Structure 1
Amino acid sequence: MTVGDVDNLANGFDPVVMLTDWDVGTTETLPDGRTLRTFHVDAEDKEIEIAPGVFFPAWTFNGRVPGPALRAKEGDRIRVVFRNFGSHPHSMHFHGIHSARMDGVNGTPGMIGPGEEFIYEFDAKPFGCHLYHCHALPLKRHMAKGMYGAFVVDPDPEKHPDLADVARSRLLGTAENANWQELVMVMNAFDTNFDDENEFYAANTVAFAYMNTPIRIEKNRPVRVYLINAVEFDPINSFHLHGNFFDYYNQGTTLTPTLRTVDLITQCQGERGILEFSFAEHEPGLYMFHAHQAEFTELGWMANFDVVEA
């Protein structure tokens, strides 16, 4: 492990807080009765500390890497006010269903230059665990510099009557959802010498963050992890849970598992999914999880759950 502590205050973000720090925007009701949900996202250049004493010149959304974890409900009208305070043209490309005008790639509207503003607007669909990222060229550089974040769309139980209870358990703000311990983890890495090879790996940016501060889990409440792979320069990443197994929902777009009772999944860049598991029958203690590429674990992508009695 690394020696020493990262200055989270100077960074402007704390990996422990990031786990549950959902940005739900501001809401108003449209004439047709639907919810308009507005988010504000700024691009800015910022040096961040990714390991004790190791600083990286990042390009960020809202001053953090990963960017804010945006969360909405299926069917909401989404409005994202994007301002570019960075030194390069940027955009926001959302994984979801939308028009070409809202795709954030070269063309209309294309790239948003330094000092410019653009408003993205689309409906929140399909439900699932998605992401957004800058789509400016060279794409590998904008991704490697930190321009990505989680975009989660909760299912609307009324649209899924056959599995309404499951849908309610995913819908933020419901009693069913409050029973779950939900965490968002964006797996990422950093090329500190710009040779297209990563020197540090992590979940939520800071190497070994959850070894130094294990994630507290109450054993009698189920766990749901929204997992996204944003690692550049490596073809796959993975998540392995020690001493337990989980159900996996690839892309998060189904209400029934795509894999059941597994302890390891792999993801390509941009791939994501939802993991659900429980420690109800386990003794309290530290349970490790990490990438199952040994190089990744030794360079920072290793963590612990601290399972405790309620």
Structure 2
Amino acid sequence: MKANITRREFLKAGTLTLLGSAGMAALAPVGRKAIAAPPQHDEPGHDLMPGPVGVVDHERNGFHPDQILTDFDYGKVSTLENGQTLREYDFVSFNKDIEVMPGIPFPAWTFNGRIPGPTIRCSEGDHIRIRFTNGSTHPHTIHFHGIHSAEMDGVPGVGRGLIHPGESFTYEFDAEPFGLHLYHCHAFPLARHIAKGLYGAFIIDPPGGRPAVDHEFVMVMNGFDVDFDNANDFYAVNTIPFHYDRHPIPIKVGETVRIYLVNILEFDLINSFHLHANFFNYYPTGTSLVPSEYTDTIMQTQAQRGILEFSYKYPGAYMFHAHNTEFAELGWTGKFQVSE
């Protein structure tokens, strides 16, 4: 029987984890038991974020959050007879247990064995060919955000529609418009197929590319309902809660950072990104080379996305996180470690 305990009640009671197994037993019913609240002290330097007890086995998961940051998949590249660039990709969906928190497995549905799926990257006008094989136990599709024909939209009942277990289909279209997009399964019930992990980022560079920067990072904001009650138990960027808080992203003073930020969070209407001690230029959807605003916080509903650009003037450790206390305390938090 599941205990009646809310997330906020859990976070208040989290100090029980410091008491060892006896304290943890009181909170054992749900996956958020993996979070330990920090000790409470009046002295400076002790006000730390809650965090995981133990370490996630990234090798067993088959992917690493640090690699996802910069793992751009340009496909197999060739040239068509008309001179157009062809990029070919192979996608396979299959079921896989992923450890999202230490000792907390999640029965995921994946593209190519990872969450998020591969970050597809191309240039506007390239011809895209994605061979999709459904190796899982449920019908799936791949729906791409962008401009293409209805037959290639990956929607049940339109064109090829559902790709059933053991079947294959090739999605093919010209990449447009330039910007930051995404893809996801569009089989029904849609919430289940997205929440289980079938999504990824889709970057279409403008002709000639964007201005050069020192770092480009992909961050897909997601969450995990580990007890299947249609409410997220953990929140993250690139799947593993607290990872970039415990392992800050290294950059240097004056280096320009570009973040491709995608929100695919299910079960919550709004997600957000806040950068500490700094402001950034924001390009919603990335379809313009002119920023829409200069800010330190933005909000995104599901499938909204945007590009952030900034640099730091001073060395130090700087947080970034969802500006929703519950999201941050349940994993959606990280740091940049800025050095001279």
Percent of pairs with identical residues: 58
Equivalent in the alignment of 1:198? 232
The alignment status of 1:71 with 2:121, answered yes or no, reads yes
The alignment status of 1:127 with 2:178, answered yes or no, reads yes
Q: 2:306 aligns with which of 246, 263, 273?
A: 273
Q: What SS does the corresponding residue of 1:19 show, helix, strand or coil?
A: helix
CA distance in 1 between partners of 2:163 and 2:252 (Å)? 44
Q: 1:291 aligns with which of 311, 322, 332?
A: 322
CA distance in 2 between partners of 1:219 and 1:151 (Å)? 29
- Once the two structures are superposed, what CA deviation does each residue of 1:72-98 show, in whole Å capped at 9, x if it has no partner? 011100000101101100000000000
- Once the two structures are superposed, what CA deviation does each residue of 1:250-306 show, in whole Å capped at 9, x if it has no partner? 0010000011x2000000000000000011x22x11100000010000000010001
CA distance in 1 between partners of 2:139 and 2:97 (Å)? 18
Q: TM-score, normalised by structure 1?
A: 0.92
Equivalent in the alignment of 2:20? none
Paired residues, number: 289
The alignment status of 1:241 with 2:275, answered yes or no, reads yes
Equivalent in the alignment of 2:295? 262
- Once the two structures are superposed, what CA deviation does each residue of 1:126-151 show, in whole Å capped at 9, x if it has no partner? 00010000000000000000000000
Q: What SS does the corresponding residue of 1:109 show, helix, strand or coil?
A: coil
Q: TM-score, normalised by structure 2?
A: 0.84
CA distance in 1 between partners of 2:333 and 2:53 (Å)? 15
Which residue identity does 1:294 align to in structure 2?
T
CA RMSD of aligned residues (A): 0.8
Equivalent in the alignment of 2:188? 137
Which residue identity does 2:320 align to in structure 1?
F
Query: Could you say which structure has the larger radius of gyration?
Result: 2
Q: 1:114 aligns with which of 155, 165, 168?
A: 165
The alpha-carbon deviation at position 220 of structure 1 amounts to: 2.5
The alpha-carbon deviation at position 180 of structure 1 amounts to: 2.5
Q: 5 Å matches for 1:1-310?
A: 1-107=51-157, 108-157=159-208, 167-169=209-211, 177=212, 179-259=213-293, 261-279=294-312, 281-282=313-314, 284-309=315-340
TM superposition outliers: structure 1 runs of 4+ over 6 Å: none
The alpha-carbon deviation at position 168 of structure 1 amounts to: 4.0
Unpaired runs of 5+ residues, structure 1, are 158-166, 170-176
Which residue identity does 2:318 align to in structure 1?
Y
CA distance in 2 between partners of 1:45 and 1:221 (Å)? 40
CA distance in 1 between partners of 2:277 and 2:113 (Å)? 36
Further displaced range: 78-87 or 212-221: 212-221
Which residue identity does 1:80 align to in structure 2?
I
